[in-house]
Structure 1
Amino acid sequence: MIRHIVLIKFQPGVGEEEIARLFAELRAIEAKVTGILGITSGRSESPEKIERGYMHGFVIDFADWEALEAYQTHPDHKALGARLVANAIGGIDGILVLDIPVAA
Structure 2
Amino acid sequence: MIRHCVFIRFRPEISRARRDELFAEIDALKHTLAGIVAVYTGSNVSPETGMDKGFADGFIVDFDNAEARDAYLMDPGHKKTGARLVAAAVGGVEGILVYDLDTGP
- Which interval holds the TM-score relative to the shorter structure? over 0.9
Greater than 4 Å deviation, 4+ residue runs: none
- Measured against aligned partners, the alpha-carbon deviations of 1:5-39 in whole angstroms (never above 9, x if no partner) come to 00000001001110001111111111111000000
Aligned residue identity for 2:17: E
Q: Does residue 45 of structure 2 align to residue 45 of structure 1?
A: yes
What one-letter code is carried by the residue in structure 2 that aligns with 1:29? L
Q: What TM-score, normalized by structure 2, do the two folds share?
A: 0.96
The unaligned stretches of length 5 or more in structure 2 are none
Amino acid at match of 1:33: L
Partner of 1:63: 64
Q: Percent identity?
A: 43
| Letter matched to residue 42 of structure 1 | G
Q: Distance in 2 between matches of 1:52 and 1:30?
A: 29
Aligned length: 104
TM-score by length of 1: 0.97
CA distance in 2, matches of 1:46, 1:15: 21
Alignment root-mean-square deviation, CA:
0.7
Structure 1 alignment gaps of length 5 or more: none
